[in-house]
Structure 1
Amino acid sequence: MQEQDRRQYFRIDQRVSLELKIISESEIDAHPKPTQFDVSPNFTLLSELQEMDSQSSQLLRKVSEKDSNVASLLKVMHDKIERIAQAVASTEMTVSNAAIQEVNLSEGGVQFRHNEAFEIDSYLSVKLVFPESCLGLLIYAQCCRSEAMADGSYLTGVEFIKMPESCRMILAREIFDSQARQRKKSAD
């Protein structure tokens, strides 16, 4: 696969709720995860469950190689927890502080329109919520593009930085799932 094709394949246009806060590099050094947003305990719980899900998937594959019955039981328990989490998420995951907008997203960063310019190389704390899947992430980023547009907005690109591997895996899975949903819609 050519580099440009690979880059496009792992990028999606997605509707998300996006909140941004300019921060200092020292804030990033002081906190491994963003703390700049007020989030509900359920948002935090859902984020932790998503991270655990990423960590447990490898273990589940290993268990299934040795005992398929135990693996099936664990999969059913996982699905039950996932449904409970989705029910909690659907009632708690609000996007009241930020409008839903279309962004261009990859594992490495996000491009979007914003009503203010950001300085290139400035640091940001990003709250990203996917309403369709009730997935929420808190990520650090650095501005790499802020281009004035004719309508007065700014085409802004940020690169995710110091993102934990578990968070990257969650984002990759969301991108993959979104692409699968888009392909299914196209086929229908």
Structure 2
Amino acid sequence: MSKTTNKSSTSADKRDFFRISHDVLFDYKVTDTFCAENDQPEDVFDDSASLGLINELRRLDRDNVQTLRLLTEKNRLLGDYLQMLSNKIDLIGRHTLFAHDAESNSKPTTRINLSEDGLAFHCDRMLYKDSYIAVRLVFLPSYSPVITFAKVLRCNQKEDKYQVAVKFFRLNDAQRQELSRQIMKAQIHNRKKARPKTQGET
């Protein structure tokens, strides 16, 4: 009995370790089962093409980071030049996003509770258990998007809002890796903020 309890406690601690409260640009749309099982989640959002472009540019950067490092070690000037070109392309991608949606830069962020398996958020309407939604998370300041389907696990009314918990549905490996990367970044940032400042730090 004790071993079972300890195992359950360890699993719960592990889930909590990989769960964060995070501010993101967040949007969702209610969809049906057929759409969630057969369509692409990007198709549910009208303005996802620009975000997809930025996401692909980020992926290319990650794939070539080792090559760029080796080039920089051999030729610092060439490495700096290629990095400058990469930054220029990144600016073009951001401009494409803002040109498509002029309000992107001023949209308010939403506080969500995030893990690799799902998320919890507050909304103004009831979402029925076992129904499906398409969710879009845009992580700042990199504007890295994760767009996927999710299944509603529960929806509880809390005052004039509804607290919703969903589990990601048809999440691919690249999206899971991006979620893991963002969770780890947020954890490192939170630990740095919580660390007591030593003498001489400002």
Q: TM-score if structure 1 supplies the norm length?
A: 0.78
SS in 2 for 1:21: strand
Q: Is the 2:53–2:93 Cα contact (8 Å) retained in structure 1?
A: no
**Inter-partner Cα distance in structure 1 for 2:26 and 2:139:** 9
- What code does the residue aligned with 2:138 have? V
Higher mean C-alpha displacement, 39-48 vs 86-95:
86-95
Structure 1 residues 48 and 144, CA gap change in structure 2 (3 angstroms): same
Q: Is the 1:18–1:98 Cα contact (8 Å) retained in structure 2?
A: no
**Inter-partner Cα distance in structure 1 for 2:189 and 2:85:** 22
Equivalent residue for 2:123, pick from 114, 119, 125: 114
Structure 1 residues 173 and 114, CA gap change in structure 2 (3 angstroms): same
Equivalent residue for 2:136, pick from 127, 138, 146: 127
Query: 4+ residue stretches of structure 1 with deviation over 6 A?
Result: 73-78
SS in 1 for 2:113: strand
- What code does the residue aligned with 1:69 have? L
1:141: Cα distance to partner? 0.6
1:86: Cα distance to partner? 4.9
**Inter-partner Cα distance in structure 1 for 2:43 and 2:94:** 23
- Tell me, which stretches of 5 or more residues in structure 1 are unaligned? none
Q: Is the 2:54–2:94 Cα contact (8 Å) retained in structure 1?
A: no
Structure 1 residues 41 and 8, CA gap change in structure 2 (3 angstroms): same
1:71: Cα distance to partner? 8.4
Structure 1 residues 97 and 83, CA gap change in structure 2 (3 angstroms): closer
Residue of structure 1 in register with 2:87 after alignment: 83
Equivalent residue for 2:147, pick from 138, 149, 155: 138
Count of residue pairs the alignment pairs up: 180
**Inter-partner Cα distance in structure 2 for 1:172 and 1:80:** 28
Higher mean C-alpha displacement, 40-49 vs 107-116:
40-49
Superposed CA offset, 1:37-69 (max 9, x none): 122643121122234456x27x94xx79xxx83
1:95: Cα distance to partner? 3.9
**Inter-partner Cα distance in structure 2 for 1:107 and 1:22:** 21
1:178: Cα distance to partner? 1.1
Tell me which protein shows more helix as a share of its residues. Answer: 2
**Inter-partner Cα distance in structure 1 for 2:79 and 2:175:** 21
- Tell me, which stretches of 5 or more residues in structure 2 are unaligned? 1-8, 198-202
Superposed CA offset, 1:139-174 (max 9, x none): 11111010111x221110111110110111011101
Please identify the structure whose Cα radius of gyration is greater. Answer: 2
Aligned positions of 1:149-164 closer than 5 A = 149=158, 151-164=159-172
Over the residues paired in the alignment, what is the CA RMSD in angstroms? 3.2
Is 1:30 the counterpart of 2:38? The answer is yes
**Inter-partner Cα distance in structure 2 for 1:120 and 1:18:** 20
SS in 2 for 1:46: helix
1:83: Cα distance to partner? 3.3
Q: TM-score if structure 2 supplies the norm length?
A: 0.73
